[in-house]
Amino acid sequence: MTATIRHARPEDVPYLIEMINEFAERDLMLPRTERSILQALPDWLVAEDEVDGERRVVGCGALVALTEDLAEIRSLAVHASQHGKGLGSEIVDHLIALARAREFSQVCALTLRENFFQRLGFEIVDRWSISPKLWQECIYCPKFHRCDEVAVLKNLTNRPVEETMANTTQPAAWNGLLKWQAWQPLKLAYNRKPIHLHSDEER
């Protein structure tokens, strides 16, 4: 039996936390809590498949609204037992379908595997050209000041990505959404070196 992709249910949450936080321990994604997932449960999709004779959650992903037009794919995870089977691509396809159903015109993601998303029709873009709401969680990431993730974007309309992108060297807005005052503090925080506070024992 092949994997079934469906909307997440409350009983799925413990499996999601276990799978996602295992990747988070390796700095591959941000950790999630039971509360944060339950609060946004309608935004989550899960992949369910048979493992050792039981139906189990083996993959997941969430679609988060950043603006009226732009949504972000977050927490895309596939259990190690399912790697290499195309399940990640299938989850992304379903998340894109969900984005279309919710009438978003663009979908973005921050990823360490840009080639994976490029195969699915995404294009690499300047991270600072995306809505500052994309960065709301990033500031809590331990890798914020040394982020190695790549921003990718897919248009769900017929317009090429470059037609929706403003010149990011100017204090103008990308797609009319990104204001200088909104993203400049985040960019300054990103460029600022973190301060290491020594404990009394280290002095």
In a domain, 44, yes or no: yes
In a domain, 201, yes or no: no
pLDDT of the residue at 202: 34
Provide the domain limits for residue 185.
4-80+87-191
State pTM to two decimals.
Answer: 0.73
pLDDT of the residue at 15: 92
**pLDDT of the chain along its 203 residues, tens only?**
478 999 999 999 999 999 999 988 887 788 899 999 999 999 999 999 877 777 889 999 999 998 899 999 999 999 988 888 899 999 999 999 999 999 999 999 988 889 999 999 999 998 777 765 555 555 555 555 455 678 899 999 876 555 555 433 333 334 444 443 444 444 444 444 443 333 333 33
Q: What span, in angstroms and rounded, lies between the C-alpha atoms of 13 and 92?
A: 19
pLDDT of the residue at 50: 77
102 by Cβ neighbours in 10 Å (0-12 / 13-18 / 19+) ranks as exposed
Secondary element (H or E) of residue 115: helix 114-118
pLDDT of the residue at 170: 34
pLDDT of the residue at 130: 76
Provide the number of structural domains found in the chain. 1
In a domain, 117, yes or no: yes
Asked if residue 165 lies in contact with residue 131, where contact means CB atoms within 8 angstroms, the answer is no
179 by Cβ neighbours in 10 Å (0-12 / 13-18 / 19+) ranks as middle
In a domain, 122, yes or no: yes
In a domain, 156, yes or no: yes
**Domain CATH code at residue 10:** 3.40.630.30
In a domain, 121, yes or no: yes
In a domain, 133, yes or no: yes
